[in-house]
Amino acid sequence: MRFNSRNIWMSSRDYVLIIFGLCIYAFGFTAFVLPERVVIGGLVGIGSLVYFLTGIPVAITSYSLNLMLLAFAYKLVGTQFVLRTIFGATILNGLIGLMQPLFPEPLIEQQTFMNIIIGSMMCGVGIGIVFTHNGSTGGTDIVAAMVSKHTNVSIGRTMLYVDFLIVSSSYFLFHSIDNIVYGLVVTILAAFMADQVINTNRRAVQFTIISQRWEEIANAINNEAHRGCTVLNGMGWYSRHEVKVLLVMCRKIESVTIFRIVKSVDKDAFITQANVNGVYGQGFDMVKLKMKSVQHTEQSDEQKFANKQP
């Protein structure tokens, strides 16, 4: 990776937004969820159990477990993931450690359900921002990766089992079904909100633009929106005139910019916009392949070919 001003700016922005997301998560957890004595999934949930049982701050237990898991799973997850996780876990647990003494009682008094909903939404939004900008907080996904490597159970299913086990174990501490239900609500709603944040950032749209001033529009999109254009040949069936059609792919959050650019050049331009389920390649999401699966497939094909030989 070459270090130029653009890469440095992008990396700096990512780290700032990761810290911002961690602040949202820490505030939602310490101000709304923890004071209600609700145990959620993940290492933070284990830290909550230990805190309610012994009084040891959540951050100490959560951070210690993260470091131990990273030590065990270092070869499995890789150096970059370890470094990102140490950064995220350090900031997150530091924030939780600072905020926990500030909120001995829920921020909204005598409104347990309201606190649970607000807290879980903030936790989900915060962690969604972290994941969107290539951050990590470690946690039970490390355990899930370790289990998935040695079994046929998927990472997502393993995380679900582990989180359910952590939340359910709070019954032995509080002897309350309500706490388990609240814990599951937080875990599920936070996961839903995180998915919404991640998918919103990744959603893409496709523009089809027809205009006599297509060259000016294409140049403006390249220079101002920093998006590429594909020029297609077309023909208007009614007029029987040949036209140039611009095909533009961009993030959904950039669609307003594309509209503004097109209308500023040609207010009579014909524009259609369509949602796209997935866009892969430079400037968008990258296709991720499991090399072991690819190699296994190649070997299987070679064996089949060899078996067919006389």
Residue 177: predicted pLDDT: 92
Residue spans of the domains in the chain: they are: 5-201, 204-310
Of 90, 86, 117, residue with least CA distance to 190: 117
Say whether 273 sits in a helix, a strand or coil: strand
Tell me what the mean pLDDT of segment 218-246 comes to: 90
Helices (H), the chain: 5-28, 42-54, 58-72, 74-77, 79-99, 112-132, 140-150, 155-168, 171-174, 177-202, 214-220, 255-265, 291-308
Tell me what the mean pLDDT of segment 68-84 comes to: 80
- CATH topology for 204-310 is Alpha-Beta Plaits (3.30.70)
CA dist 222 and 73 (Å) reads: 44
Is the model's pLDDT at 262 over the cut of 50? yes
**Average model confidence (pLDDT) for the chain?**
83
CA dist 48 and 235 (Å) reads: 66
Selected residue with higher pLDDT from 148 and 123: 123
- Structure tokens, 168: 């359910």
Q: Residue 50: pLDDT band by 50, 70, 90 thresholds?
A: very high
- Give the orientation angle of helix 177-202 with respect to helix 112-132, to 10 degrees: 40
**Distances in Å between the alpha carbon of 71 and those of 64, 66, 75, 85, 191?**
11, 9, 9, 12, 26
The CB density around residue 143, as the number of other CB atoms within 10 Å, is 21
In this structure, the strands spanning 230-236 and 204-210 are unpaired
Do residues 162 and 229 lie in contact, with contact meaning Cβ atoms separated by under 8 Å? Answer: no
CA dist 230 and 249 (Å) reads: 9
Residue 294: predicted pLDDT: 41
In this prediction the pTM is 0.70
Is the model's pLDDT at 298 over the cut of 60? no
Of 252, 244, 245, residue with least CA distance to 275: 252
Say whether 14 sits in a helix, a strand or coil: helix
Tell me whether residue 189 is exposed, middle or buried, using C-beta atoms within 10 angstroms of its C-beta: 0 to 12, 13 to 18, 19 or more: middle
Tell me whether residue 245 is exposed, middle or buried, using C-beta atoms within 10 angstroms of its C-beta: 0 to 12, 13 to 18, 19 or more: middle
Q: What percent of the chain has pLDDT over 70?
A: 82
DSSP for 174-228 reads H--HHHHHHHHHHHHHHHHHHHHHHHHHH-EEEEEEE-TTHHHHHHHIIIII---
Selected residue with higher pLDDT from 299 and 155: 155
CA dist 47 and 67 (Å) reads: 14
- Structure tokens, 12: 């700096």
Say whether 285 sits in a helix, a strand or coil: strand
Residue with tokens 């389920």: 277
Tell me what the mean pLDDT of segment 289-296 comes to: 44
Q: What percent of the chain has pLDDT over 90?
A: 43
Residue 286: predicted pLDDT: 60
CA dist 262 and 213 (Å) reads: 10
**Distances in Å between the alpha carbon of 258 and those of 79, 111, 112, 126?**
39, 45, 45, 29
